[in-house]
Structure 1
Amino acid sequence: MKKVLPLALIASLGVLAAGCGASPTHSAAAQTFTTIDEAHGITDGAPMNPFNTNGNSFMSFDVMQLGWFTNSATNPNDFYPGLAKKWQISDGGRTVTVWLQPNAKWSNGQPVTAQDVKASMAAGFTQGNSQAFYLGSVKVISPTEVQFTQVPGQNYNLFFNSLMQQPIIPAFEYDPIMGKNIWTIIDESMYTGSNPTLKALATKAQTELTNIGKSVVDYAPKTDISAGPFLIKNLNPGEALLVKNPDFYAANKIHIKQVVFRNYTGNQQIWNYLIAGQLDMAPFTAMPTDILHRILQVKGNQEVVSPSYVGAALAFNQGIYPYGMPAVRHALAHVINRDVVQKVAEPVVGTVSKYSDGMVDQATEKWLTPAQIKELNPYSYNLSEATKELEKAGFKKVNGKWMMPNGKPWTATIYTVNGFSDWIEAAKVISTEMTQFGIPTSPDIVSSYSEYLKDIALDKYALAFWINALGPEAYPTFQRIYGPNDGYNVVGGQLVYYPYSNKTEGNWVDSPQEIPLPNGKMVNPGQLTYDLNSLTAAQQRPIVQKLALATNESLPMITLWNYINVQFINTTRFTDFPVHNNGMLDNPPGVWIMSGYVQPK
């Protein structure tokens, strides 16, 4: 699966003494690679099952995919081979044929076959995953060849991308859980016509899938059956030990005999492991600058950086006065000193956003031409410009405080979430800047992220933090703004718009349905975003360019910083990390290892 950047989880900046970390269980002589699973900690007693949210399974180590994404900003179909040796995309991306690695085996010696792939997609249907990328059918052509087609009438351009990143499970274990007629149930569940008999069958089948899905999630294999480079040997609350899988199709490339995953419940434990020099690799971990310095002082510890297509933004609810006025959003962009905000809030894994066009800066520089980038307003820190914007819009400053055009004083609250330390610190800085400018502003912290999402959809926040630029693909990047959060939903394969007045569908951004380009021409951002869903990268380019320019002009949210993917390696025990291969580096370390990287010294 694509790497998901975790937000800052720390509640304080303290760190335990390095000596308090757990002692290494295995020596370097045993060729033991020690790391952390960024997706989750170890849950004692949870099944070795990739569909269980608390499951003890490790992507790229004992759980495999058909392929591994290179994190390309402009080509979502660029993959490294996984269990798929090669593939063919045809019919405008609606049909994909995959040929499996000819020597792929499960760790019990049985071959990995097309039937395993088909069972994996069936399991995906029970979890709602296969429906998400419009999988219509799976056809086994031979033991090593399988063909996938989209739902008729769909043209989802991330079909191949999503397909390649599904976990592959052994059919001989999961087929008995799902039942012999699983595909009949799947086919019946996908009916969308008006025949009442078939509609009733579809409803019944969807319920059956949900119930089967619970059994799939709860299934607990007695032993780990792996198609990856390693398999689980034992687990305890503190760590998981994996050993090399001799049946892996590329076992000759694996230079490591054992892997240990350390358990953790928060960032501080990872800091402690790093400060104690106990991890050979650690994923992205939010931390303050002083902790970073302590980590890098440890012998062998190195920081490696690769692109991350995620940004942190201050978002506006334009349905709440006065934030529907473009001048207000533009003025606040000039009031906020993004350089100061980033240095305080995210000094280690953030860079100041230059463009505020809905994308991270690296994506902007790949999609837009130099001339188009010059058209973007940088919204530099400029209080005089902010004053001009507000005065032109009818705001007046009285006794150092801004009065709104309706004659009422302008005060503001910026909402963040408990535990998201970077957002919290940024909100403090921005509140101070706005207050000093004459808009009395205070930060407020919501107790949980689930409550935050619920309340933002209910229009309770005029100003709130938001993760945007969820790339690298263009469609999810702009859908983050001009999707359901802005009233644009896909229903029955068609784009439907729910206005802000509809309080049940979660439109809290409330952008106008037409927003301007720098030349004054109006475009519909929801329709343009929806169009990206069915186009190739080359066809997407002019639409992405329009969306970027229009977003920068309309400014539904101010991108404050771009996250960067900072990882850590330790070179005292191992060498040959893929530090100069960003596409490889953005994958879990099991992909590095199965590709021949990482060798013991």
Structure 2
Amino acid sequence: MTACSGSETPTKSGSGGGGGLFTTIDVNRPGIDASAPANPFNPKGNSFQGYNSIKLAYFKNHLTDPNVFYPGAATSWELAPDNSSITIKLPPNGKWSDGKPVTAEDVKVSIGIAYTQGSTAFAITPGAAGAAADVTVVDPTTIKVTQDMTNPSAKFARGVMDTILVPAHIWNAVLPADFWDKLKLSRGTGAEADKAREEITGLGEKVIAFKPEKDITAGPFVLERVNPGEALLVKNKNYFNAANIAPDQVKFLNYTGNEQIWNYLISGKLDHAGFTAAPADVMNRIKQAPGSNVIKGFSPVSVGMAFNQTKKPYDNVHVRRGLAYLVDRQQVQQTASPEGGTPAATTSGIHQTPAKEWLGEELGKLEPYAHDVAKAEAEFKEAGLQKKDGKWALADGSPWKVTMTAPSGFSDWISAQENIKSQLVESGVDAEVVTVADYPLYLEEIAAGKYDIGFWLIALGPAPYDIYQRLYGASNGWTNVAGKVKHSPAGKAGNWMGGAEEVEIDGAKVNPGELTGKLNGASADDAKPMMVQLAKAANQDLPVIQLWDYVNTQFTNTTRFTGWPEQDSDLLRQPAGVWMQQGLLKVKK
């Protein structure tokens, strides 16, 4: 059975599997560059995660433990009880698409390349948390990676298993013969160590620019051809678990914005699309397409209305609290992301689903900031703001305009900000929405402190340190180097939030950045009381207003394939190619 995409003529697979064509888009990367290499490290590369790019393993969507995985190129692993090492096993029958065996040496070369990219477990910054201390080939299909326990991280294994596997017989060309000696030297101090680190980092650009003559992969598919409109992949007959893979071909369609994805879904062209924000009317049209199916699951991401506290009046907590009472979060979420989110119960810094696990009964004690105009006005008056002729002004009587910024193309963020603007104007607060060209520029400018208020993704679980470093990490002045947390003043070293170095929690002064730093090496049990303190800090001090918690909404079409993940499946955080690797998806008979 072969599926058509629009008016295109379906192609037959060279693998002879008879499984038909699976059509999708890469939600993480708009635009297909036909001239880009099949290089998984190149941001425009024609390498698609889970398809012709494969990792050692893929994390499960656990609420609190970052170190549980689905198999990828590795079929089994053993993590030391103290998290000091992980031993990884490859399948004995593993082969690259050119027929050469997949070995532990391939993993070692892949790790070497990860060092050039600044990977978390393979960072070369002296004292970096969770960095590997040694990489040892045990036998042709076994490799052991040990952690530097002078500054351990609870997510060390996750950093290791996140390694993208590439063939040593192709990629050896980008690593110098003395690479591992240079790496050992880089772990020291002094001028020679500094030079070695500089040389390893310099290799990163060489890795990104590398152009293999052809796509050699251990994944389930191989790139066959690419043009500006689409990339076509065919089944890798040498993939060690090829029996799990139903489609003979995968086609990635080009797009430049959400509107094209919506049109693909409405016309039934896509078998699968990952999370794509869509307004209610568009969502209804998508659902009406023959075979259309929506799968929803937990996504540990929330969006916050983030304040630059170096800008007045946002340096005053009562202004931030007043805005929290004034903004109706349910209205914002229903307008901006009706199918892709749930209104935040409160601001805790944690997605409300894992918040129940981390905070327990303390969650119910947090101030909910339910929509309340009277409380908002009381907070504004406490801050010294003035109300003249029905409009709020700054304490000195000068005009106050709330300026919010969003990147062009982020339809849900822009819709949310427009809704917030309407709510504020209705309550006497002047407001405007400004858009910038794209997300990279947005990140660059928000980090430079150019915005009064922007949207900021928070609550990035499951690791507790990752959750709170979005609020109390480098963007708010705290950096964690060699196990020691340092604070930089507002406007320095990427500190654009400009929050206070200490906040009051239950009558005592607490440094939330230092507390967040301690989470990096803490066990789940040790982390829980710290998570409670940080939730209280976020709730009382409001560096952001938590607006909505994302729901991972996936679009599928049941016309051509069956066996999709169930509702709330933790596989929804992974690409559909990973679903295929686990044996899901079958051709519809």
Specify the alignment match of 2:248 in structure 1.
257
1:168 aligned residue:
165
AA matched with 1:247? N
2:516 is aligned with 1:529: yes
CA contact (8 A) 2:296 2:568 kept: no
TM-superposition CA deviations, 1:317-344 (whole Å, max 9, x none)? 2233322222221111111111221222
Partner of 2:454: 464
Q: What is the CA distance between 1:305 and its match in structure 2?
A: 0.9
Residue 19 (structure 2) pairs with residue 34 (structure 1): no
Determine the structure 2 residue equivalent to 1:134.
131
SS of the residue corresponding to residue 149 of structure 1 reads: strand
Aligned 8 A contact 1:94 1:156 in 2: no
Distance 2:269 2:26 in 1: 14
Q: Which residue does the alignment assign to 1:13? A: none
> 1:110-259 to 2 correspondence within 5 Å?
110-129=100-119, 130-131=122-123, 134-151=131-148, 153-191=150-188, 193=189, 199-259=190-250
Alpha-carbon deviation of 1:493?
Answer: 3.8
* Residues 1:561 and 2:548 are matched in the alignment: yes
CA distance in 2, matches of 1:301, 1:409: 50
For residues 526-576 of structure 1, the C-alpha deviation after alignment (integer angstroms, 9 at most, x for no partner) is 011111111122322221122112211211110111222111111111111
Query: Contact 1:22–1:273 (CA<8 Å) still a contact in 2?
Result: no
Q: What letter matches 2:276 in structure 1? A: T
The one of 571, 575, 588 equivalent to 1:584 is 571
State TM-score, norm by structure 2.
0.92
Q: Is the 8 A contact 2:246 2:585 kept in 1?
A: yes
Aligned equivalent of 2:431, options 441, 446, 450: 441
> Contact (CA 8 Å) 1:106, 1:227: kept in 2 or not?
yes
In the alignment, is residue 333 of structure 1 matched against residue 318 of structure 2? no
**2:306·2:453 contact (CA, 8 Å) conserved in 1?**
yes
Assess if the C-alpha contact under 8 Å between 1:101 and 1:144 holds in 2.
Answer: yes
- 1:433 is paired with a residue of what secondary structure? helix
Is the Cα contact below 8 Å between 1:575 and 1:600 reproduced in 2?
yes
| Distance apart, 1:45 and its partner CA | 2.2
Q: Separation in 2 of the partners of 1:46 and 1:128?
A: 22
CA distance in 2, matches of 1:450, 1:260: 27
Structure 2 Cα separation of the partners of residues 111 and 222 of structure 1: 19
- The structure-2 alpha-carbon separation of the partners of 1:450 and 1:597, relative to structure 1 and needing over 3 Å to count, comes to closer
Task: Decide which of 448, 463, 477 is 1:473's aligned counterpart.
Answer: 463
**Partners of 1:338 and 1:560 within 8 A in 2:** yes
Which residue of 2 is the match for residue 508 of structure 1? 496
Q: 2:313 aligns with which of 303, 310, 322?
A: 322
Measured against aligned partners, the alpha-carbon deviations of 1:223-255 in whole angstroms (never above 9, x if no partner) come to: 222212222233333322222222222222223
1:308 counterpart SS class: strand
CA contact (8 A) 1:21 1:272 kept: no
Relative to structure 1, the CA distance from residue 169 to residue 322 in structure 2 (aligned partners, 3 Å threshold; closer, same or farther) is: same
- Matching residue within 483, 489, 496 for 2:486: 496
Report the CA distance between 1:117 and its aligned residue.
0.5
Instruction: Kindly indicate whether the alpha-carbon contact (under 8 Å) linking 1:578 and 1:597 is maintained by their aligned counterparts in 2.
Output: yes
Q: Which amino acid aligns with 1:25?
A: P
Q: Which amino acid aligns with 1:549?
A: K
Alpha-carbon offset, residue 27 of structure 1? 7.7
- Any idea what SS the aligned residue of 2:284 has? helix
State whether residues 141 and 147 of structure 1, in contact with CA within 8 Å, keep that contact through their aligned partners in structure 2. yes
Aligned length: 573
SS in 2 for 1:328: helix
CA distance in 1, matches of 2:394, 2:228: 57
Matched residue SS, 1:389: helix
Counterparts of 1:201 and 1:450, CA distance in 2:
35
Verify: 1:598 aligned to 2:567, yes or no: no
Shift of 1:375: 0.4
Deviations 1:331-383 (A, max 9, x none): 111111112212222223222111211112212122221x2121011101110
Report the counterpart of residue 5 of structure 1 in structure 2: none
The answer on whether the counterparts of 2:405 and 2:454 sit within 8 Å (CA) in structure 1 is: yes
Task: Please give the per-residue CA displacement for 1:416-470, whole angstroms capped at 9, x wherever unaligned.
Answer: 2333232222222222322332322222233444443344334333322222222
Are the counterparts in 1 of residues 104 and 143 from structure 2 also a CA contact under 8 Å? yes
Judged with a 3 Å threshold, the aligned counterparts in structure 2 of structure 1 residues 66 and 567 are, in CA distance, closer, same or farther, namely same
Matched to 2:474, the amino acid is P
Tell me if the contact between 1:69 and 1:583 (Cα under 8 Å) persists in the aligned partners. no
- Aligned to 1:564, what secondary structure does the other structure show? strand
Change (3 A) 1:103 1:551: same
Separation (CA, whole Å) in 1 of partners of 2:33 and 2:445: 31
Which residue of structure 1 aligns with residue 362 of structure 2?
372
Query: How far apart are the structure 2 equivalents of 1:37 and 1:462?
Result: 32
Aligned amino acid, residue 168 of structure 2: A
CA distance in 2, matches of 1:45, 1:407: 57
Letter in 1 for 2:560: R
Q: CA deviation at 1:296?
A: 1.1
Contact kept, 8 Å, 1:97 with 1:148, in 2: the verdict is yes
For structure 1, the residue ranges without an aligned partner over 5 or more in a row are 1-18, 194-198
Give, in whole Å, the separation in 2 of the partners of 1:560 and 1:477: 16
Contact 1:20 1:272 in 2 (8 A): no
- Provide closer, same or farther for how the CA distance between residues 459 and 273 of structure 1 changes in structure 2, counting only shifts above 3 A: closer
| Distance of aligned partners of 1:91 and 1:173 in 2 relative to their CA distance in 1, 3 Å threshold | same
Matches within 5 A, 1:97-116: 97-116=87-106
Contact 1:21–1:273 (CA<8 Å) still a contact in 2? no
Q: 1:466 to 1:62 in 2, by over 3 A?
A: same
> Paired residue for 2:412?
422
The secondary structure found in structure 2 opposite 1:124 is helix
With over 3 angstroms needed to count, the CA separation of the structure-2 counterparts of 1:354 and 1:100, relative to structure 1, is same
Q: 2:282 aligns with which of 280, 285, 291?
A: 291
User: Residues 240 and 261 of structure 1 are in contact (CA less than 8 Å); yes or no, is this contact kept in structure 2?
Assistant: yes
Q: TM-score, normalised by structure 1?
A: 0.90
TM-superposed CA distance for 1:30, in Å, is: 4.8
- The 3 A distance-change label for structure 1 pair 363 and 263 is same
67-76 or 385-394, larger mean C-alpha shift: 385-394
Judged with a 3 Å threshold, the aligned counterparts in structure 2 of structure 1 residues 256 and 311 are, in CA distance, closer, same or farther, namely same
Cα 1:203–1:42 change in 2 (3 A) is same
Root mean square deviation, CA, Å:
2.3
Gap change, CA 1:254 and 1:412, over 3 Å in 2? closer
**CA deviation profile, 1:492-513 (whole Å, cap 9, x unmatched):** 442111122xx33122222222
Offset at residue 261 of structure 1 (A): 2.0
Specify every segment of 5 or more residues in structure 2 that has no aligned partner in the other structure, as ranges: none
Equivalent-residue separation in structure 1 for 2:439 and 2:575 (angstroms):
26
Shift of 1:213: 2.7
Say whether the 8 Å CA contact 2:151–2:482 is kept in structure 1: no
Q: How many angstroms apart in 2 are the aligned matches of 1:447 and 1:63?
A: 30
